[in-house]
């Protein structure tokens, strides 16, 4: 009998249970209720976020597929399309960092190749607690090994991403994985169960008891019982997935199937009911036919298992033999377990008995939608206040501290664990503003950037949302790419708390506004709520992934200075704002104040100017100003210059020196340019109403800044570089 205790275990409310009974016109048995508990979980149903997500712009002339499928698809011309998405694997990565992160990679890869695309790039957005804490260190090490192990083995390069450190992630790391694939426009596959009587094939790994209720776990807060939840994390097998990838792409290329869906969160339950619901059809399967790894599994366990590396295929009736042969070639089973039916019902049999009979619409489309209460949080007013700024210290000293803060320090220790070169398309190696991948045989290339500063979103959520989009786009414009599509991963605390809901609404509002101004559609993404451990929520963390196109790969520009004697030009305005900065955080341990404010129209003009100048071939290097401000941006331009070229700069703004050097004011890009191109650049800037100021030139061995005739920073590039480069390896050095 279904009682309160069972409902609690399944994370369903009494009201939800009553709705279910009404919808299906009977008391559900335990397996049926299990199905609802998964598909109506926050993770699968988006029941708390749906009403707000509708505000995001999703349309555009190049959009082939918006939200609602395994991944979004954008037309990039010449008969090709890119398929991409970002997804979180936060909860599993905390419980079991290696497997949690690894299966996160496995899951997003399946989302991409399910649509017929060959994955060509992975990126990760990672958030960890401070590394002084050994637990955080172990989590980070495990997560990176997990990503490395899965992506490397599959032969998909991990080409970039971002990493931030903050106390708020101490018991709640974030692992957001992005994947992009390429497909011929007329060879895209969807999750469809069409054609009455077409066989349902189960392919890939056998089903075990792993990961049962993973999706439900990701839809609740962690309390003291978190150790017990470890068995909810699945175990990944990248080799199996590699076989699955090759076999699936082969049956697709030979046009043998009508639809395909991966079995990720909610496994067999989700794939069967979603495919049927999307096609207005039904599915009938027999669980006795499902390949099983363990004996004595109940229908409940088989339906809810989240074993990895599995797919569900609807084959063309007459092609089953050929499909099976291809899977056999790759040493995989392809087992018919049922067929497509006419009525919109999911029917599951086991040992000759019907164990599930449900209307698919009820499972997928009729989940209740909540407009949860929202309320501006109490902390906001006081956190935004930054009445008196502490006195500044020696500026050289401050720059040292920033360069060796984990968030700013070099991430080579991380990305060299990832095979970022396999497939030989990586034109701009990790560590630049954006990752750039060529498309073999084409003039155009793809650029990708992930971004999301959660401190800004904590201090002023709407601004945080806007900046996440603006900065990711700015990163693309720095390499010479035009943004064409966005995917987002929204990581928040418990949405049942009105304050969290308010943060969520505000961030979405900011993202929506920015996307509208930049005229780029959101093609999908993922919401991860309940990022709370023992009552403490993470900062609201929107992660934005933007994909762009470089029309001519030969025009691409990198971040590092190219040669000595080049004028250095600042595009955009320096402003007197320091709230929410890495400077305040690293030097004074202050996480307060208003984050930098952003004028989206102006931001757009700065980006367009940068892009236009790059396309004219007059830019030597471009790097945007972000965490650590102008001084850190310039230092990085020296580090990434190859020969460690220095620069001599002079600032004239009447702003307090430390604020000027380390402010994270938006809409600024620093470029270097040949002297004879200067006039051209300045006239372009004037035309676009963007301030372009010559702040000095490249040369020498030092990073040197003067402010209002006073020498304020003077450090040898090699010395600063060493600080920046050594920080993270030293933390993880084997002693």
Partner 1 sequence: MKFGVVIFPGSNCDYDTFNVLKEILKQNSVFLWHKDHNLKNTDCVILPGGFSYGDYLRSGAIAKFSPLMQEIQEYAFKGGLVLGICNGFQILLELGLLPGAMLRNKNLKFLCQFVHIELENDETPFTKKGKKGQVLKIPIAHYEGNYYAPPDIIQELEINNQIVFRYSDAQGRISKEANINGSLGNIAGIINKQGNVMGMMPHPERAFEVHLGSKDGRLIFESILKTVDSRQ
Residues that bind partner 1 (CB under 8 A): 145, 148-149, 152-155, 237-240, 242-243, 246, 329-331, 415-424, 426-427, 429, 438, 440, 553, 734
Instruction: Kindly state the smallest distance separating residue 430's Cβ from partner 1, in Å.
Output: 10
Instruction: Kindly state the smallest distance separating residue 421's Cβ from partner 1, in Å.
Output: 5
- Of 245 and 312, the one with the shorter C-beta distance to partner 1 is 245
Question: DSSP character for 212?
Answer: T
Q: Is 709 exposed, middle or buried (0-12, 13-18, 19+ CB in 10 A)?
A: exposed
- Of 604 and 721, the one with the shorter C-beta distance to partner 1 is 721
Pairing of strands 435-438, 647-651: unpaired
- Of 237 and 284, the one with the shorter C-beta distance to partner 1 is 237
Distance from the Cα of residue 246 to its chain's centroid: 25
Copy the structure tokens of residue 405: 């803060």
Copy the structure tokens of residue 702: 């030092």
Instruction: Kindly state the smallest distance separating residue 308's Cβ from partner 1, in Å.
Output: 13
Pairing of strands 702-707, 710-716: antiparallel
Strand blocks (E) in 241-305: 257-262, 282-286
Whether 43 is a known active-site residue: answer yes
Whether 91 is a known active-site residue: answer no
Own/partner long-range contacts of 48-51 (Cβ < 8 Å, ≥24 apart)? 48/370, 48/372, 48/495, 48/496, 48/501, 48/529, 49/490, 49/495, 49/504, 49/527, 49/529, 50/369, 51/369, 51/370, 51/371
Active-site residue, from 43, 52, 420, 623: 43
Active-site residue, from 89, 623, 707, 721: 89
Instruction: Kindly state the smallest distance separating residue 239's Cβ from partner 1, in Å.
Output: 3
- Of 330 and 370, the one with the shorter C-beta distance to partner 1 is 330
- Of 235 and 536, the one with the shorter C-beta distance to partner 1 is 235
Task: Give start and end residues of each alpha helix (H) in 550-699.
Answer: 582-588, 600-615, 629-639, 657-662, 678-687
Give the CB-side neighbour count of residue 509, counting CA atoms within 13 A. 11
Instruction: Kindly state the smallest distance separating residue 103's Cβ from partner 1, in Å.
Output: 15
- Of 13 and 643, the one with the shorter C-beta distance to partner 1 is 643
Instruction: Kindly state the smallest distance separating residue 422's Cβ from partner 1, in Å.
Output: 6
**CA-to-CA distance for 328 and 304, rounded, in angstroms?**
26
Three-state DSSP at 669 gives strand
Q: Biggest alpha carbon distance in the chain?
A: 88
Q: Which residues contact 704 (CB under 8 A, 6 or more apart)?
A: 646, 647, 648, 649, 711, 713, 714, 715
Following DSSP, what letter does each residue of 441-492 receive, concatenated?
A: T-S-EEEEEEE--HHHHHH-HHHHHHHHHHHHHHHHHHHT-EEEEEEEEEE-
Identify the helix (H) or strand (E) that includes residue 340.
Answer: strand 334-341
Q: Give just the sign of the alpha carbon dihedral 484, 487, 490, 496.
A: positive
Instruction: Kindly state the smallest distance separating residue 427's Cβ from partner 1, in Å.
Output: 6
- Of 419 and 582, the one with the shorter C-beta distance to partner 1 is 419
Instruction: Kindly state the smallest distance separating residue 440's Cβ from partner 1, in Å.
Output: 7
- Of 243 and 266, the one with the shorter C-beta distance to partner 1 is 243
**CA-to-CA distance for 637 and 642, rounded, in angstroms?**
10
Instruction: Kindly state the smallest distance separating residue 417's Cβ from partner 1, in Å.
Output: 5
Instruction: Kindly state the smallest distance separating residue 649's Cβ from partner 1, in Å.
Output: 30
- Of 423 and 477, the one with the shorter C-beta distance to partner 1 is 423
Please answer whether residues 529 and 49 qualify as being in contact, where contact means their C-beta atoms are separated by less than 8 angstroms.
yes
Please answer whether residues 336 and 320 qualify as being in contact, where contact means their C-beta atoms are separated by less than 8 angstroms.
yes
Three-state DSSP at 543 gives strand
Copy the structure tokens of residue 663: 């402010």
- Of 380 and 553, the one with the shorter C-beta distance to partner 1 is 553
**CA-to-CA distance for 445 and 479, rounded, in angstroms?**
11
Closest CA to 666 of 471, 512, 403: 471
Provide the annotated active-site residues: 43, 89
């Amino acid at each position: 009998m279904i009682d309160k205790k069972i409902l609690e275990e399944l994370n369903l409310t009494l009201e939800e249970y009553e709705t279910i009974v009404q919808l299906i016109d009977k008391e559900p048995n335990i397996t049926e209720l299990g199905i609802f508990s998964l598909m109506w979980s926050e993770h699968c149903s988006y029941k708390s976020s749906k009403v707000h997500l509708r505000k995001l712009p999703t349309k555009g002339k190049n959009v082939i597929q918006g939200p609602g499928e395994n991944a979004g698809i954008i037309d990039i011309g010449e008969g090709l399309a890119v398929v991409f998405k970002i997804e979180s694997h936060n909860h599993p990565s905390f419980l079991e960092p290696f497997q949690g992160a690894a299966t996160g990679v496995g899951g997003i890869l399946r989302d991409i190749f399910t649509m017929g695309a060959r994955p060509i790039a992975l990126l990760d957005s990672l958030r960890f607690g401070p590394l002084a804490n050994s637990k955080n260190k172990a989590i980070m090490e495990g997560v990176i090994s997990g990503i490395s192990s899965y992506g490397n083995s599959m032969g998909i390069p991990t080409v970039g991403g971002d990493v931030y450190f903050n106390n708020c992630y101490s018991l709640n790391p974030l692992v957001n994985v992005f994947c992009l694939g390429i497909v011929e426009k007329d060879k895209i596959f969807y999750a469809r169960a069409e054609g009455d009587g077409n066989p349902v094939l189960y392919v890939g790994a056998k089903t075990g008891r792993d990961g049962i209720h993973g999706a439900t776990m990701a839809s609740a807060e962690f309390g003291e019982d978190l150790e017990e939840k470890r068995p909810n994390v699945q175990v990944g097998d990248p080799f199996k997935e590699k076989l699955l990838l090759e076999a699936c792409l082969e049956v697709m290329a030979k046009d043998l199937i009508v639809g395909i869906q991966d079995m990720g969160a909610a496994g067999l339950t989700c794939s069967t009911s979603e495919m049927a619901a999307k096609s207005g059809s039904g599915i009938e399967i027999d669980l006795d036919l499902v390949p099983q790894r363990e004996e004595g599994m109940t229908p409940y366990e088989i339906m809810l298992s989240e074993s990895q590396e599995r797919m569900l295929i609807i084959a063309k009736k007459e092609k089953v033999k050929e499909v099976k042969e291809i899977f056999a070639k790759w040493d995989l089973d392809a087992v018919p377990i049922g067929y497509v039916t006419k009525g919109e019902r999911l029917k599951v049999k086991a040992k000759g008995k019907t164990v599930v009979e449900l209307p698919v619409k009820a499972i997928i489309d009729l989940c209740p939608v909540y407009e949860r209460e929202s309320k501006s949080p109490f902390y906001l007013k006081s956190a935004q206040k930054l009445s008196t700024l502490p006195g500044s210290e020696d500026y050289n000293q401050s720059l040292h501290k920033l360069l060796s803060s984990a968030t700013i320090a070099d991430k080579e220790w991380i990305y060299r664990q990832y095979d970022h070169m396999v497939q030989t398309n990586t034109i701009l190696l990790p560590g630049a503003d954006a990752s750039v991948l060529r498309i073999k045989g084409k003039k155009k290339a793809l650029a990708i950037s992930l971004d999301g500063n959660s401190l800004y979103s904590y201090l002023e959520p709407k601004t945080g949302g806007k900046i996440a989009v603006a900065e990711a786009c700015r990163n693309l414009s720095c390499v010479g790419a035009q943004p064409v599509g966005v995917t987002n991963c929204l990581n928040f605390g418990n949405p049942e708390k009105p304050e969290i809901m308010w943060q969520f609404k505000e961030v979405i509002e900011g993202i929506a506004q920015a996307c509208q101004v930049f005229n780029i559609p959101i093609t999908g993404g993922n919401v991860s709520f309940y990022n709370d451990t023992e009552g403490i929520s993470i900062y609201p963390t929107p992660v934005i992934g933007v994909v762009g196109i470089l029309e001519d790969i030969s025009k691409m520009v990198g971040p590092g200075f190219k040669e000595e004697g080049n004028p250095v030009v600042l595009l955009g305005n320096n402003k007197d704002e320091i709230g929410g900065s890495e400077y305040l955080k690293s030097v004074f341990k202050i996480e307060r104040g208003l984050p930098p404010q952003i004028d989206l129209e102006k931001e757009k003009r700065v980006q367009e100017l940068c892009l236009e100048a790059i396309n004219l071939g007059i830019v030597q290097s471009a790097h945007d100003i972000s965490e650590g401000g102008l001084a850190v941006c310039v230092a990085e331009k020296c580090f990434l210059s190859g020969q460690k070229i220095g620069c001599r700069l002079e600032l004239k703004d009447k702003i307090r020196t430390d604020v000027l050097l380390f402010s994270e004011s938006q809409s600024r890009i620093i470029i270097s340019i040949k002297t004879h191109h200067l006039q051209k650049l300045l006239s372009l800037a004037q035309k676009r109403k963007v301030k372009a100021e010559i702040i000095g030139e490249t040369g020498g061995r030092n990073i040197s800044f003067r402010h209002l005739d006073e020498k304020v920073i003077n450090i040898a590039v090699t010395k600063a570089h060493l600080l920046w480069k050594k920080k993270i390896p030293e933390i993880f050095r084997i002693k």
